[in-house]
Amino acid sequence: MLGKILALAVGVLFGGALVGAVVGLAIAAVAVLALAATVAARRDWVPLVYNVRSLRVRRVTTAVTVVGLALVVLVFAVVLMLAGGIRATLRSTGDPLNAKILRKGSQTEMTSGLLPDQLRLVAALPEVATGSDGQALASAEVVVLIYAHREGAADDATGGGANVTVRGLGPRGMALHPPARLDGRLFRGGTSEIVIGRELVGKFAGARLGGTMRFARRDWQVVGVMDQAGSAFDSEVWGDVDQMLDAFQRRPSFSSITIRLRDRAAIPTLQARFEGDPQLNLLEIASERRYWEAQSEQLAKFVTFLGTFVAVVFAVGAVLGAMITMYAQVSARVREIGTLRAMGFRRRAVLVSFVVESVLLGLGAGAIGLGVASFAQLARFTTTNFQTFSEITFRFVMTPEVVAATLAFAAAMGFAGGLLPAVRAARMSIPRATHGG
Amino acid sequence: MSWLGLVWRSALRNRLRTALTTAGIALAVIAFLFLRTFIAAFYAGVENASADRLVVRNRIAITSPLPISYVDKIRGVRGVEELTWMSWFAGVYRDERSFFALFAVDPPSFYRVYPEFLLDEKERRAFFADQSGAVVGELLAERFGWRVGDRITLRGTIYPGDWELTIRGIYRGRDKATDRQQLHLHWKYVDERVDERQKNQVGIVVVRTAPGTGAQVAATIDRLFQSSLAETRTESERAFNLSFISMSAAIVSAVQVISMVVLGIILLVLGNTIAMGARERTSELAAMRAIGFRPRHLVGLIVGEGVLVAALGAGVGLALARPVLRFIADALESALGAFLGPFELSGRAAALAVAVCLVGGVLASALPAWRASRLVIVDALRRTE
């Protein structure tokens, strides 16, 4: 109990200090900007070339500081890119006009169970769109997790595989989730043919066009590899729902029904209809997009938490490092500061000059960090989604927002590190400074 | 003045810089300890696994059940000393974020196979007798303020509906790594209330074998059900837990990489500071040489300062680590639920952090110290930088 109180106290202290520091920095930034404005108005700023030359003269220390800052920027940028990638993958999964129907109370398809009667009733609802053949666009789907072995791993090796989602689709399933691209062809109903998502290729035994995957005591021929535009379906195996129901001994219970709505706004109407109908009141409906977003919530939160923690720690460390460097710079250039002041530059000009220098350092580090981070876009991050229990692959996505946020972060770190040393530089009296401090 | 006194004085020359460096190192130590503790919590299940327990599950998928009839068949296998069965009961208490592990078990056999769950005799008997009873871990009870006799309701997801339970006991963990955030309820209670399709099924069967016979018994069990409708996969408890961790392998690797980077940062910050300090004092060091200090004295001074600052940082970091770790762990838990093992700062991680700091202190001051030892007195005295 004491431990808990102590922990809370320390946490609040740290948190408070952090918040206080950020608020203080924001206020300081405004103040410095105001000073800079007056300096600019009177055109007596210290020439930028002084800063550039100073950084060049003390190359090694500058380089070390920039490397440290760039490392932090890299971590920050990569975390943002991963969080963005997770959101992109799961937000892009599903069609805005599709809705998913599960058993009431189950949070994921894995734990939901529906019956053929319910499918018939749902397909007959007026809100469900019909296809070109006049049939309702509704697909009963069964979702199962298999343990797929990695390419090259022996069947009994531990850790030599991962959970993969297998989805059995009804005849209209492909129409409801059309892939952006399909290499090969679709599976035929009534056969052991399957189509796999592009992220699975090469990761698991038999996972390639023309290959054979083995699960549920059967061999399944991979006749197609689909590109589902970076969505969750890129990590799934698709086959015929009847075959899957039999292979996994699930008959008659399947997992979910996907329907195409005539109108997106029909969802609340349908939910009300379900609740009012005794045959349907065990169902609940959600837009397909929202369903997939919710599936990633825990993982996204977790990655964001971990990433933020790491970024904050690194940022504070980088600011401390930058501060140490800038203090040293100020002490080393004491005579120069004295000279500048003696020449007539005002205190605020000196302050602004040093702040600008450290912000430039920060921005330089930011550019380098971003440059390296952009290579992350070539990589993929594969992990298990805690909620669906299946393996899913995310990409690192660099958007203009990520670039802007990262550069702002880098500039802020430079500012934070250089502020106090700049204040010290500005406050030095001319005699002391020219004398050597 | 002693060597230590000299080192101390020189460290205090620039108090601000020393303070900032100490703060930086302390921060890095705390981050490193958090990351390592995080990984250890992931592996807690593996470390804690008994060498004599096997887990039998459906070969097809982790989510497929086994028929209850398997239990008696497995009991007859030679080498099986004790067995129990259980199902993962997915349910929600209050809201999704208060996630914790729920198991529907057969109480008499369960506590025999898992002796690390310590339960008072009175509570044990009460639980056995009440089919709608539940036993919870002490950490769980502390988290929600539960006491024996409280009634709680769970919203089932795999087994739909509202499940009312009465808390009949609170268990303690025998080992430090024992999970104390589980809830155990009666398998019979669940089985009687579910519909036909879900009846008479168990999630896994856990078997205790005589020491050293695990592999043989596992093979025998799997052979027994080889061509049946539900083929089994039997593996050691350790392997079973590992297979869950391997799912998050990417995250664990990323965290390990980051903890290495944190160590690198410690070195960088230290190195930069020491180098700066040494550079500033070139003329003083030269003066010391001029009055008779030998190069090795200068090396000792600089390295000593590096080690001192590193030790200070490590000390502050260690002092603050435990409360900070608790705070972060609690924050994680309230946001995401209890999916990690016990979050305990291990002595080994702490020792590693201290060792890295001290070694880092030496490494970081190596180059400046070497440069100082090679000072040409005349040139150095002349330098006005």
Same domain, A22 and A65: yes
Residue A316, min C-alpha distance to chain B (Å)? 8
Alpha helices, DSSP H, located in B95-145? 107-113, 121-129, 138-144
Looking at residue B110, what is its pLDDT?
93
Q: Which residues of chain B have pLDDT under 50?
A: 385
**SS3 helix, strand, coil % of chain B, rounded to 5?**
60, 20, 25
Length of chain A: 437
Rounded to whole angstroms, how far apart are CA atoms A159 and A147? Answer: 10
B116-173 pLDDT, tens digit each: 999 999 999 999 999 999 999 988 888 888 999 999 999 887 787 889 999 999 999 8
Rounded to whole angstroms, how far apart are CA atoms A159 and B18? Answer: 47
Q: Exposed (0-12), middle (13-18) or buried (19+): which is B131, by Cβ within 10 Å?
A: middle
Task: Look at the block and give the residue holding tokens 């220098």.
Answer: A357
- In this prediction, residue A160 has a pLDDT band, given cuts at 50, 70 and 90, of low
Q: Which residues contact B60 (CB under 8 A, 6 or more apart)?
A: A144, A146, A215, A216, A217, A248, B230, B231
CB contact under 8 A, A4 and B158: no
Same domain, A351 and A202: no
Complex ipTM, two decimals?
0.72
Which of A72-81, A235-244, B93-102, B135-144 is predicted least confidently?
Answer: B93-102
Radius of gyration of chain B (CA): 29
Pairing status of strand B133-137 against strand B161-173: parallel
Same domain, A224 and A114: yes
- In this prediction, residue A328 has a pLDDT band, given cuts at 50, 70 and 90, of confident
Residue B229, min C-alpha distance to chain A (Å)? 9
Same domain, A67 and A111: no
Pairing status of strand B182-186 against strand B101-105: parallel
Same domain, B218 and B120: yes
Is residue A208 within 8 Å of residue A202, measured between CB atoms? yes
A129-153 pLDDT, tens digit each: 888 888 888 999 999 888 888 876 6
Residue B55: inside a domain, yes or no?
Answer: no
Rounded to whole angstroms, how far apart are CA atoms A339 and A158? Answer: 70
Rounded to whole angstroms, how far apart are CA atoms A388 and B157? Answer: 13
Mean pLDDT on A304-325: 80
The residues pairing with A146 across neighbouring beta strands, listed in sequence order, are A164
Q: Which residues contact A362 (CB under 8 A, 6 or more apart)?
A: A69, A322, A410, A411, A412, A413, A414, A415, A417
Contacts of B157 in chain A (CB under 8 A): 105-108, 111
Residue A278 pLDDT greater than 70, yes or no: yes
Rounded mean pLDDT of chain A?
A: 85
Residue A49 pLDDT greater than 80, yes or no: yes
Domain that holds residue A185: 98-260
Closest by Cα among B136, B38, B113 to B336: B38
Helix (H) or strand (E) holding B23: helix B15-48
Of B230, B231, B242, the CB nearest to A159: B242
Question: Which pair of structure tokens corresponds to residue B300?
Answer: 């000792």
Residue A303: inside a domain, yes or no?
Answer: yes
Q: Which residues contact B10 (CB under 8 A, 6 or more apart)?
A: B277, B281, B301, B305
Looking at residue B3, what is its pLDDT?
82
Same domain, A105 and A207: yes
pTM as predicted:
0.77
In percent, how much of chain A has pLDDT > 90?
Answer: 22
Helix (H) or strand (E) holding B207: strand B204-209
Q: Is the dihedral of CA B159, B163, B168, B172 positive or negative?
A: positive
Question: Which pair of structure tokens corresponds to residue B311?
Answer: 């030790």
Of B90, B161, B269, the CB nearest to A321: B269
Answer with the one of A260, A289, A311 that is the final residue of a domain: A260
B21-33 pLDDT, tens digit each: 888 888 888 888 8
Question: Which pair of structure tokens corresponds to residue B207?
Answer: 């078997």
Is residue A230 within 8 Å of residue A197, measured between CB atoms? no
Residue A130, min C-alpha distance to chain B (Å)? 32
Residue A235, min C-alpha distance to chain B (Å)? 14
Chain A: residue nearest B322 by CA? A7
Question: Which pair of structure tokens corresponds to residue B221?
Answer: 């069990």
Q: How is A4-71 classified by DSSP, letter by letter?
A: HHHHHHHHHHHHHHHHHHHHHHHHHHHHHHHHHHHHHHTT-PPPHHHHHHHHHHTHHHHHHHHHHHHH
Same domain, A103 and A244: yes
Same domain, A254 and A112: yes
Residue A415: inside a domain, yes or no?
Answer: yes
Peptide bond into A252 cis (omega under 30): yes
Domain that holds residue B279: 3-45+249-382
Same domain, A105 and A252: yes
Same domain, B219 and B273: no
Same domain, A137 and A70: no
Residue A292: inside a domain, yes or no?
Answer: no
Residue A85: inside a domain, yes or no?
Answer: yes
CB contact under 8 A, A147 and B96: no
Based on the structure, what is the number of domains in chain A? 2
Looking at residue A159, what is its pLDDT?
52
Same domain, B193 and B278: no
Based on the structure, what is the number of domains in chain B? 2
Residue B218: inside a domain, yes or no?
Answer: yes
Contacts of B239 in chain A (CB under 8 A): 158
CB contact under 8 A, B247 and A328: no
Same domain, B77 and B193: yes
Looking at residue B126, what is its pLDDT?
93
Looking at residue B96, what is its pLDDT?
67
Answer with the one of B203, B230, B257 that is the final residue of a domain: B230
The residues pairing with A285 across neighbouring beta strands, listed in sequence order, are A101
Mean pLDDT on A28-43: 88
